[in-house]
Homo-oligomer: A and B are copies of this chain.
Amino acid sequence: MKYKMIDGSVTAAKGFKAAGIHCGIRKNKSKRDLGLIYCDNKCTAAAVYTTNLVQSSPITVCKQNLKNGFAQAVIANSGNANTCNADGDEKAQKMCELAAKELGIDASDVIVASTGVIGQILPIEPIEENIAVLAENLTCDSVGASDCAEAIMTTDTVKKEVAVETTIGGKAVKIGGISKGSGMIHPNMATMLCFVTTDAAISSEMIQKAVKTVADDTFNMISIDGDTSTNDMLSVMASGLAGNDEITEEGQDYNDFVEALTAVCKELSKMMAKDGEGATKLLVCKVSGAKSVKDAKGIAKSVICSSLLKAAMFGADANWGRVLCAIGYSGCDVDVHKVNVSFASDDGKIDVCKNGAGIEFSEEIAKEILIRDEIDIIVGLGDGEASAEAYGCDLTYDYVKINGDYRT
Residue among A84, A183, A188, A327 facing the most chain B CB atoms (10 A cut-off): A84
Contact A326 B119 (CB under 8 A): no
Q: Among the listed stretches A9-17, A66-74, A99-107, A308-316, which one makes contact with chain B, having 4 or more residues with CB under 8 Å of it?
A: A308-316
Report B-chain residues with C-beta under 8 Å of the C-beta of A357: 84-86, 119
Q: Among the listed stretches A51-59, A159-167, A207-215, which one makes contact with chain B, having 4 or more residues with CB under 8 Å of it?
A: A51-59
Cα of A85 to Cα of B354 in the assembled complex, Å: 11
Tell whether A83 is near chain B: CB-to-CB under 8 Å. yes
Q: A52-B325, A54-B328 are in contact. Are A314 and B227 (CB under 8 A)?
A: no
Contact A308 B83 (CB under 8 A): no
Tell whether A356 is near chain B: CB-to-CB under 8 Å. yes
Rounded to whole Å, the gap between the CB of A123 and the closest CB of chain B is 14
Tell whether A81 is near chain B: CB-to-CB under 8 Å. yes
Cα of A178 to Cα of B322 in the assembled complex, Å: 26
Contact B308 A118 (CB under 8 A): no
Contact B53 A336 (CB under 8 A): yes
Report B-chain residues with C-beta under 8 Å of the C-beta of A225: 307-308
Tell whether A400 is near chain B: CB-to-CB under 8 Å. yes
Rounded to whole Å, the gap between the CB of A276 and the closest CB of chain B is 11
Cα of A329 to Cα of B54 in the assembled complex, Å: 8
Interface residues of A in 197-223 (CB under 8 A from B): none
Of all chain B residues, which has the CB nearest A363? B408
Rounded to whole Å, the gap between the CB of A379 and the closest CB of chain B is 13
Secondary structure of the A contact surface, majority rule: loop
Q: A329-B52, A404-B315 are in contact. Are A227 and B118 (CB under 8 A)?
A: no
Report B-chain residues with C-beta under 8 Å of the C-beta of A326: 227
Rounded to whole Å, the gap between the CB of A347 and the closest CB of chain B is 19
Cα of A227 to Cα of B321 in the assembled complex, Å: 12
Contact A329 B227 (CB under 8 A): yes
Contact A54 B336 (CB under 8 A): yes
Partner of A119, one of B54, B324, B400: B324
Residue among A226, A228, A329 facing the most chain B CB atoms (10 A cut-off): A329
Q: Among the listed stretches A144-152, A266-274, A391-399, which one makes contact with chain B, having 4 or more residues with CB under 8 Å of it?
A: A391-399
Report B-chain residues with C-beta under 8 Å of the C-beta of A400: 311, 314, 395-397, 399-400
Tell whether A7 is near chain B: CB-to-CB under 8 Å. no
Partner of A321, one of B84, B86, B190, B353: B84
Tell whether A139 is near chain B: CB-to-CB under 8 Å. no
Q: A400-B397, A403-B311 are in contact. Are A321 and B52 (CB under 8 A)?
A: no
Cα of A405 to Cα of B312 in the assembled complex, Å: 6
Contact B324 A118 (CB under 8 A): yes
Rounded to whole Å, the gap between the CB of A383 and the closest CB of chain B is 13
Cα of A190 to Cα of B191 in the assembled complex, Å: 28
Contact B305 A84 (CB under 8 A): no
Partner of A404, one of B186, B306, B311: B311
Interface residues of A in 218-253 (CB under 8 A from B): 225-230
Contact A308 B404 (CB under 8 A): no
Partner of A405, one of B306, B315, B321, B406: B315
Contact B54 A403 (CB under 8 A): no
Of all chain B residues, which has the CB nearest A328? B54
Report B-chain residues with C-beta under 8 Å of the C-beta of A320: 119
Report B-chain residues with C-beta under 8 Å of the C-beta of A322: 118, 227
Contact A403 B334 (CB under 8 A): no
Tell whether A348 is near chain B: CB-to-CB under 8 Å. no
Interface residues of A in 357-408 (CB under 8 A from B): 357-358, 363, 395-397, 399-408
Report B-chain residues with C-beta under 8 Å of the C-beta of A404: 311-312, 314-315, 317
